[in-house]
Structure 1
Amino acid sequence: MPSATSETDNSPRTAVIGLGAMGLPMAQRLAAGDFPVTVFDIAAERRAAAVDSGADEAVTPAEAARGADVVLLAVRDQAQVDSALFGETGAADALRAGAVVVLTSTVGPVAARATAAALAERGVRLVDAPVSGGPTRAGNGELLIVVGAEPDALATARPVLERLASTLTVIGDKPGDGQALKAINQLLAGVHIAAAAEAVALARGLDLDPRTVIDSLSQGAAGSFMFADRGPRMAQVYEEAADAVEVRSRLDIFVKDMGIVTGIAKDAHVPVPLASAAEQLYLLGERAGLAARDDSSIVTVLSPNAPNAPEGAGQ
């Protein structure tokens, strides 16, 4: 069956399903690059924002996927993956044989392999391509993307991935390989955020100005990307209010992701004591009502008295 790529260039006809913090800027980035893009999200205002950037709108995942060469999934977890692909109005049965689904969500290797098997029954291929970098970098095409995929499937998806990534690493040739590397990424990111929170909390306990501590230590051997990025937002929690901090990465994302990390580490019989401790901190934050807050708000679990913090976390 002939490809449904654009007649004016060789950009694959692409559907983006899920227009959250990452999906929307990715859809906008693709549309701005003259990719033929159709989008779906349950929120009409997010669909409208993508349409304003040049995308076409669909009212179901199946409608978005019809005629697509590539379906890019940018949803929260495996339950949403299953709904978007295999639900009553899911995309899987609307896709032509040979089409490719690009899974950008962090769901873990086992879930990715199960999704690949279910799609293969329909003649559809999976490119396991979890992303890192945040919304701003997604909109600028500066994401870190790690890929596990068969070469032919990757070839179909590569123009989409290269439009979105500044660093594209092919780690293996089967779905699940990308998820495995992403889990290691999340182990490091999650531990670094937790360590940054401890440092800021200790600075406050010693009556030091957190911003001075962050500015100073970010320049030396104790610094990390997460300390430099999350540290100022942790300080902002105390200067303004926990709910005044822009939500760039929800705390409950790390509840999910650290659970994946510790789960696959257990299966591999590899001890991960620091990741396990960080997972418990994020669970405490979720229990304290911080799930939908920016993950930098985890500092209030360790050092309370932030203005307007949830009960049990900041007062």
Structure 2
Amino acid sequence: MPAAQVWGRPQGEPPVQLGVIGLGSMGGGMARSAAKAGLSVRGYDVRPTALDGVTAAGSPAEAAEAADILLVMVVNAKQLEDALFGTNGALSALPKGAVVVSSATIPTADAERVGTRVEQGGHLYLDAPVSGGSARAGTGELTFMASGSDAAFAKAQPMLDACAAKVFRLGPKIGTGSTVKTVHQLLAGVHIAAAAEAMALGVRAGADARELFEVISNAAGRSWMFENRVPHMLERDFTPHSAVEIFVKDLGLVLDTGRDLRFPLPIAASAHQQFLAAAAAGLGGEDDSAVVKVYEQLAGIEVKGS
């Protein structure tokens, strides 16, 4: 970054103003990363949340006041629409020409509809779901799968620079980012469920869980999800970095997409059933790696490090 600029502003001008709606494990990490990078950040969450370097807002509208960029990191399309268009919604206060960056995992059709409405209101829109988890949100190393106009990308660049290790520009059509994220979530959910199934099978057959993890982590059967989630199982730490209920929702979104396209998704459906079983067993608020407990309860075992 040139020394004569501060996040896209000429030297001497105030920093880029970022509003953030949704300060959970992902949105909170992104807000902190942006603040550390020098953006002026104001954030809102339905649950009062205090974050270092982030000014608390009392409503979505207050978070959007004077913002150059508005980042919305919520759970689903209804929350996105409420945040933007509901009572004290952000669009009522967001300056014209500002960009809305939606990083929620939502159906493609909802991304298209919301994006059109935002643009009709005189704002820019970036359909920009992310991957990387709460840890990478906090270190500014997320992967963005984003679509939107060149103007939207340019306006959002300071936030992308602060929060992303990689930004995949997927073209101008709003909705493409959400489509790619849907495919990503199919794989992510299947990999977590498969990791749980494999580890439980190994333990049931008498293998040492930690040795099994070490072998697979250094062999062709590994995946990023295997290497990231199995340690949660081994340490019996199910603190919800990404909860079981998230994959009940996201794999449900995958299956809805397949149904609409008349496209069969038997493997995704099987993984979805495992997350549903975990939620039915009262594990919905635990980390998504807790899907292993479904297998543990059936087999009378525990996947843990020796």
TM-score (norm 1): 0.88
Matched, 1:29 2:22: no
Matched, 1:38 2:42: yes
CA distance in 1, matches of 2:40, 2:153: 19
Q: Is the 8 A contact 1:93 1:122 kept in 2?
A: no
Query: How many Å apart are 1:43 and its aligned residue?
Result: 2.2
Matched, 1:274 2:262: no
Query: How many Å apart are 1:231 and its aligned residue?
Result: 1.1
Query: How many Å apart are 1:10 and its aligned residue?
Result: 7.7
Alignment of 1:66-105 (within 5 A): 66-105=65-104
CA distance in 2, matches of 1:231, 1:213: 10
Structure 2 residue aligned with 1:13: 17
CA distance in 1, matches of 2:161, 2:94: 22
Q: Name which of 266, 275, 287 aligns with 2:280.
A: 287
Structure 1 residue aligned with 2:293: 300
Q: Is the 8 A contact 1:11 1:159 kept in 2?
A: no
Tell me the secondary structure at the aligned position of residue 160 of structure 1: helix
Structure 2 residue aligned with 1:63: 62
Q: Is the 8 A contact 2:203 2:301 kept in 1?
A: no
Structure 2 residue aligned with 1:247: 240
TM-score (norm 2): 0.91
Q: Is the 8 A contact 2:65 2:94 kept in 1?
A: yes
Structure 1 residue aligned with 2:179: 180
- Structure 1: which 5+ runs fail to align? 238-243, 308-315
Q: Is the 8 A contact 2:100 2:123 kept in 1?
A: yes
- Structure 2: which 5+ runs fail to align? 1-7
Compute the RMSD of aligned alpha carbons. Answer: 1.8
Structure 1 residue aligned with 2:235: 236
Q: Is the 8 A contact 1:12 1:156 kept in 2?
A: no
Out of 125-134 and 259-268, give the one that drifted further: 259-268
CA distance in 1, matches of 2:12, 2:242: 37
Structure 1 residue aligned with 2:3: none
Query: How many Å apart are 1:23 and its aligned residue?
Result: 0.7
CA distance in 2, matches of 1:258, 1:63: 34
Query: Identity over aligned residues, as a percent?
Result: 39
* Runs of 4+ residues deviating >4 angstroms: 4-7
Question: Structure 2 vs 1, CA of residues 10 and 165 (structure 1 numbering), >3 Å: closer, same or farther?
Answer: farther
- The aligned amino acid for 1:17 is I
CA distance in 1, matches of 2:9, 2:69: 10
Query: How many Å apart are 1:55 and its aligned residue?
Result: 2.1
Query: How many Å apart are 1:12 and its aligned residue?
Result: 2.9
Tell me the secondary structure at the aligned position of residue 185 of structure 1: helix
CA distance in 1, matches of 2:270, 2:262: 17
